[in-house]
Amino acid sequence: MQAWQAIVAVYFGYLALLSVFVPIRPGFRRWTPAAACLALPALALPAAVQGLAQVVVLAVLPAAFLIASYWLSGLFFTGPMPAVERGLLGADRWLLPRLGLSWLAARGPRWLLEGLELSYLLVYLMVPAGAFVLAVAGHAGALPRYWAVVLAAALGSYAMMPWVQTRPPRALEAGDPFQGRTLRFRTANLAVLSRGSHQANTVPSGHAAAALAAALGVASALPAAGAAFLVLAVAIAVATVVGRYHYAIDTILGIGMGVAAWIVFG
């Protein structure tokens, strides 16, 4: 079993075991995380095929488990922790002005803010794109390591959901961080999140963790392409805070998670 497969198996097992002792979201059965483990035999697919089919499976299958892991983590959000939310908001009130992010949201040029919102939207394509770039560039052998880094970073972030339960800052703060300026890509982001998110905040930020892990995973084999991915990862990290999708501490911890995953598995 390769590292990325072990990470997925351990994560699913962790949630299945946790569901025995920890309440899950109203409307869902307690055995749902355990039932999800029925998908684990699919981890054997890469060994069952060869050649191009194996490359395709290695490029797609881990991404499917990444999405499933995100939704499984959301089952453990049973209610916000107001004291934690107040602490995170208080840290934002101190950090954002000192990092220049309050100024950026209020007075930044429209093209820059649209670019940040677009970068946040692109995270959903960035992670599978990293695998695609490696495969097309002749580095299919690096795919297992790439996915180990990405999955360790993302699933490590999702694993905290049962213990740190918060709503995103945009759900708590009154008013628009962009002071009424309508941004097209922000509208798109909010539409995606309203339909494709479990509406809970992840601490650390899964967006920041997965984006940086993907960039570092690509850079390990393709430095030039990795540099481009790294620029996008930085933009995503900034966008998570400026757009109030995450608290600053979420994103800082997510960056740390991405670096740690790369050090261990890269």
Instruction: Note whether 152 and 265 are within 8 A (CB).
Output: yes
Position 173 scores a pLDDT of: 87
pLDDT computed for residue 55 by the predictor: 85
Q: At 164, is the secondary structure helix, strand, or coil?
A: coil
CA distance linking residue 229 with residue 219, whole number of Å: 8
Model pLDDT, residue 243: 92
Joined together, the tokens standing for residue 18 give 């946790």
What's the farthest any 2 CA atoms get from each other in the chain? 55
pLDDT profile of the chain (266 residues), mean per 10: 94 95 86 92 89 86 95 94 95 92 88 94 94 93 96 97 94 81 88 89 95 96 95 96 95 97 93
192-216 as b/e: b if 16+ CB within 10 A = eeeeeebebbbbbbbbbbbbbbbbb
